[in-house]
């Protein structure tokens, strides 16, 4: 799903640019790219420890290759959580 969203976003950006008479190369501005990406990473590093930022960057691979979930196991987990919430209340799910 994420890959489809990424492709649709790129098509929308390029399409909107071209409809307004722009050239796709106008969107490729290296200084602006460096400012945005460098500023974002710099802001993240000032707010969070490097270990957190590093683990976040590793998780970006999930955008292109999502985890394979066992749907039967996930359904059983939801069933157990729902039963626990019904018996003990919603606050029981926090533990």
2, 10 Cβ separation under 8 angstroms: no
* 23: Cβ contacts below 8 Å, ≥ 6 apart: 17
Q: What pLDDT does residue 49 have?
A: 87
The per-residue pLDDT for range 19-78, each reduced to its tens digit, is: 999 888 888 889 999 999 999 989 988 999 888 888 887 887 777 777 788 999 999 999
Is residue 12 scored above 90 in pLDDT? yes
**21: number of Cβ within 10 Å:** 7
14, 27 Cβ separation under 8 angstroms: yes
DSSP for residue 20: T
DSSP for residue 28: -
- Ranges of each domain in the chain: 67-95
Q: Report the share of the chain in percent with pLDDT over 90.
A: 52
Q: How far apart are CA 10 and CA 2, in angstroms?
A: 12
């Amino acid at each position: 799903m994420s890959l489809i969203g990424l492709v649709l976003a790129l098509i929308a950006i390029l399409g909107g640019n071209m409809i307004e008479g722009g050239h796709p190369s106008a969107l490729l501005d290296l200084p602006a790219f460096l400012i945005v990406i460098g500023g974002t990473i710099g802001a993240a590093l000032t707010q969070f420890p490097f270990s957190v930022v590093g683990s976040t960057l590793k998780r970006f691979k999930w955008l292109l290759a999502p985890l394979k979930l066992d749907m039967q196991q996930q359904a059983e987990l939801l069933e157990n959580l729902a039963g626990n919430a019904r018996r003990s209340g919603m606050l029981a799910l926090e533990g």
